[in-house]
């Protein structure tokens, strides 16, 4: 499966709109440098507006396809303008909508000051499901 995904990624590497998804394929296959280069291309060549770029950076910080890069200094630096808000829906936060409870759902972000990882609170402003 990984070989097939990489073959498709290589065949479509020139497609600018596919940069984010291609970066995910390379990240999941342990190709850090290629993944970071494609994410950089997505953020700074494809996305034209800073507000959208900040949202995309936040999505990358919580997207499971980038789990292997989560603690990587290059990834953290590349996503340093993440806006701290995401529409990420997760099974771990279902049910909080009724109580408006803020809870630690096990989703973590790294603040802009590069300090330790912090939980992303499950709250209406952060999760589409809550």
Task: Give tens-digit pLDDT for 16-59.
Answer: 999 999 999 999 999 999 999 999 999 999 999 999 999 999 99
Residues 21 and 62 in one domain: yes
Residues 66 and 125 in one domain: no
Residues 49 and 104 in one domain: no
pTM for this model (two decimals):
0.65
Residues 99 and 126 in one domain: yes
pLDDT of residue 84: 76
Taking only the tens place, the pLDDT of each residue in 60-94 is: 999 999 999 999 999 999 998 887 765 544 444 44
Q: How big is the CA angle at 87 (ends 106 and 61), to the nearest 5 degrees?
A: 55
Domain hosting residue 120, numbered range: 86-130
* Dihedrals phi, psi of 106, to nearest 5 degrees: 85, 15
Residues 90 and 74 in one domain: no
pLDDT of residue 64: 92
3-state class (DSSP) for residue 41: helix
User: Would you give the distance in Å from CA 35 to the centre of its chain?
Assistant: 12
Residue 124 scores a pLDDT above 80:
no
Residue 95 scores a pLDDT above 60:
no
Residues 75 and 109 in one domain: no
Q: 7: how many CB neighbours lie within 10 A of its CB?
A: 10
Give strand ranges (E) for 1-130.
103-109, 118-122
- Total domains in the chain come to 2
């Amino acid at each position: 499966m990984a070989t097939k995904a990489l073959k498709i990624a290589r065949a479509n590497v020139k497609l600018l709109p596919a940069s984010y998804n291609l970066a995910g394929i390379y990240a999941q296959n342990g190709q850090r440098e290629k993944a970071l280069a494609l994410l950089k291309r997505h953020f700074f060549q494809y996305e034209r507006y800073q507000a959208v770029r900040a949202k995309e950076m936040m999505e990358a910080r919580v997207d499971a396809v980038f789990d292997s890069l989560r603690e990587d200094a290059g990834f953290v630096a590349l996503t340093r303008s993440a806006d701290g808000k995401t529409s990420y829906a997760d099974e771990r936060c279902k049910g909080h909508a009724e109580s408006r409870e803020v809870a630690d759902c096990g989703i973590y972000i790294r603040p802009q000051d590069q300090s330790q990882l912090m939980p992303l609170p499950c709250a209406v402003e952060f999760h589409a499901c809550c």
